[in-house]
Amino acid sequence: MEFSEHIKTANVEDVVLRRPFYQPTKGTLCVTGHHLIFSNRGGDSARPFLLLLRNIDAIEKSVENLLGYSRLFSSTGQSQRPSVSSGTITLKCKDLCVLQLDIPGMEECLNIASSIESLSSLETVSEMYPFFYRPPFLSLQDQWGLSSTEQHYAQMKEIHDGWRVSQVNRDYSVSPSYPPAVIVPHSIDDETLVKAARFRQGGRFPVLCYYHRETGTVIMRSSQPLSGANRKRCREDELLLQAVIDGSELGYIIDTRSSQQAQQARMTGGGFESKSCYRGWKRLHRQLEKGKVLQESLIKLVEACGDQSHSVDRWLSKLENSKWLSHVQTALSTAGLVAECVERDGHSVLVHGSEGTDTSLLVSSLAQLILDPDSRTLAGFLGLLEREWVQAGHPFQQRCAHSAYSHVRLRHEAPVFVLLLDCVWQLARQFPLAMGFSEPLLLRLAKEVYASDYGTFLCNSDQERCVTGVKERTHCLFQSLLRANERQHYSNPLYERTELAIWPSIQPPSLQLWKGLFLQWTDDALHLVEAQKVIQNLVSQCHRPLNEKVENTDG
């Protein structure tokens, strides 16, 4: 296979690996097409350490030629002949772990470094590890993914009167980033949809993402209308939105840009729904950052967390300066607003920004978590991610090409999905009993989205996933997470389903830094993990079995 071209040195002996929580160990390093494998020299039962090359965000190397000192070394009485030169490779991973490899021999070190560099930046989707990963517990014959639009629709009997599944995008010609099937108002035919799609960026016309049973109102999402500088209109787009609110009522459009940004978008052909054309719809602007701003925020936050200084002032100032928690606050507050419109006011909401592939998805999925108890179960949450992120066309490959350590010039990177996970963590922290899943699931997802054995987060859209054969030749992460033993690991032991909406507090003292993610490689995280185990034991090993026992003896 062509991977071998990239591998200049496949094996090095006597490498010292340094990583968090472990003593430095000496062993053999091996570079393969997709992994770094480090095995202990003693060959004891300890499993070799496996690192997905895709996980490596940045690599730093320093070599030392110790030729001049070799005599000094030999006089210290070392049994082995000392290497005349050595090098150190620092690997900064996308899961924020930092590893160090001390490699004897300058040449080996440079070879390993360059092999890692080229292999970890391979861009061809079909060469990525998920296409080679074949776990025994999954079969390629299984359905890829948890559910399709049609299956999802079939489960929601209550919307069948007003809403239908449209296959208008079955060949991805109407919107390249939409899935083949979407849910739209019953009264709108495919022809109208095609025309409305032409009026929306990337063809992303308004589609249903959530139906609220109690009020009968909905959350929709789309991209921006292409009204442009001369305020073009589109009859079909207006009809579509009118059909949503049935003409009489009020609806809210939550634009995730500031009104100034929306105005400016008209200059480049984008725009917003003007009041005169969309009667009954009230537009609200809430500025959510995305793209470069968000990526830089993550970089600054991770840098702050790695700061070794002991000054509280410096820490708080860096934390503030990163603005990450401000982004969390804005995202939760906008989602809260959407949910409030739906649940408290009883009005439907359309969410969009510009492309409709980032902040719109963030807001619509958080609003659903606030409102919908079904989306708070483990399977429900994964289903939500599948619908609102994978199928809805969040460009994972572009957004997650690099993480916080990379020195590569940024192109499309943005940690929107990580921001979502952080917001979900904040929700779960404020409502520790309301979520069926636990923090380890969020941490696993934060890792998998950057580097994974599974194909779920490959590509940028459903269409690309079909073209590259992801659905036939890789396994689905979500299915794997729902297997019995994994399910137990990722379930929240305290979970007690509540039908109520969970309104998060967005007051600054209520929002905290997600230590589990951003400080997961410090000792601090260890104590918290231990505490989680104690909770798990308390609930599952003491209480529940006892309960059953009592019931049994009662009988």
Provide the minimum distance between the beta carbon of 203 and other proteins in the complex, in angstroms, as a whole number: 31
> Residue 313 CB, nearest distance to other proteins (Å)?
5
For 172, which DSSP code?
Answer: S
3 state DSSP class of 91: strand
Nearest distance from C-beta of residue 425 to other proteins, angstroms = 12
Q: Which is nearer to other proteins, 1 or 312 (CB)?
A: 312
Nearest to 96 by CA among 472, 518, 542: 518
**How many CB atoms lie under 10 A from the CB of residue 222?**
28
Neighbours of 541 (CB within 10 A): 11
Return the residue matching tokens 């095995």: 39
Q: Which is nearer to other proteins, 381 or 514 (CB)?
A: 514
Q: Given the complex with other proteins, which of 17 and 328 has the nearer CB atom?
A: 328
Give 548's contacts (C-beta < 8 A, 6+ positions apart): none
CB of 535 to other proteins, least distance (A): 7
What would the two tokens of residue 131 be?
Answer: 């296409």
* 367: nearest Cα among 390, 351, 387, 389: 351
Q: Which residues contact 301 (CB under 8 A, 6 or more apart)?
A: 319, 322, 324, 404, 518
Query: What's the min distance (Å) between Cβ of 353 and other proteins?
Result: 17
- Looking at beta carbons only, is 41 or 543 nearer to other proteins? 543
What's the closest the beta carbon of residue 180 comes to other proteins, in angstroms?
Answer: 35
Cβ of residue 214: shortest distance to other proteins, in angstroms?
9
Give whichever of 276 and 309 is closer to other proteins, judged by the CB atom.
309
Closest contact distance (angstroms) between CB of 429 and other proteins is 6
Residue closer to other proteins by CB (options 77, 509) is: 509
Six-digit token string for 381: 């949450």
Q: How far is the CB of 215 from other proteins (least distance, A)?
A: 12
Q: Phi-psi bin for 504: left (phi > 0), alpha (psi -120 to 50), beta?
A: beta
DSSP labels, 275-323: TTTSTTEEEEE-----HHHHHHHHHHHHHHHT-----HHHHHHHHHHH-
Q: Which value, to the nearest 10 degrees, does the dihedral of the CA atoms of residues 142, 148, 155, 219 take?
A: 150
The minimum distance between CB 428 and other proteins, in angstroms, equals 10
H runs (alpha helix) in 28-129? 70-75, 106-120
The C-alpha atoms of residue 291 and residue 355 are separated, in whole angstroms, by: 11
Among 394, 327, 338, residue whose Cα is nearest residue 363: 338
Q: Which two tokens stand for residue 404?
A: 């916080």
Judge whether 401 and 56 are in contact, CB under 8 Å.
no
Cβ proximity to other proteins, 133 vs 431, nearer residue: 431
Q: Which is nearer to other proteins, 67 or 529 (CB)?
A: 529
> Cα separation of 31 and 274, whole Å?
58
Nearest approach in angstroms of CB 162 to other proteins is: 24
Closer of 140 and 433 to other proteins (Cβ):
433
**What number of CA atoms fall less than 13 Å from residue 132's CA on the CB side?**
12
For the bound state, the minimum distance from the C-beta of residue 86 to other proteins, rounded and expressed in Å, comes to 31
Helix ranges, 347-461 (H): 359-371, 378-385, 396-399, 416-430, 439-448
For other proteins, give the closer residue by CB, 23 or 507: 507
Residue 309 CB contacts under 8 Å (≥ 6 apart), including other chains: 315
Long-range contacts of 463-467 (CB under 8 A, 24+ apart): 463/172, 463/176, 463/177, 464/125, 464/397
Query: How near is the Cβ of 547 to other proteins at its closest, in Å?
Result: 6
> Is 368 or 479 the residue whose CB approaches other proteins more closely?
368
Q: How far apart are CA 23 and CA 393, in angstroms?
A: 43
Nearer to other proteins, 107 or 530 (CB): 530
**For residues 33 and 280, which CB has a smaller minimum distance to other proteins in the complex?**
280
Q: Quick one: tokens of 275? A: 């009041």
Residue 439 in tokens: 């923090």
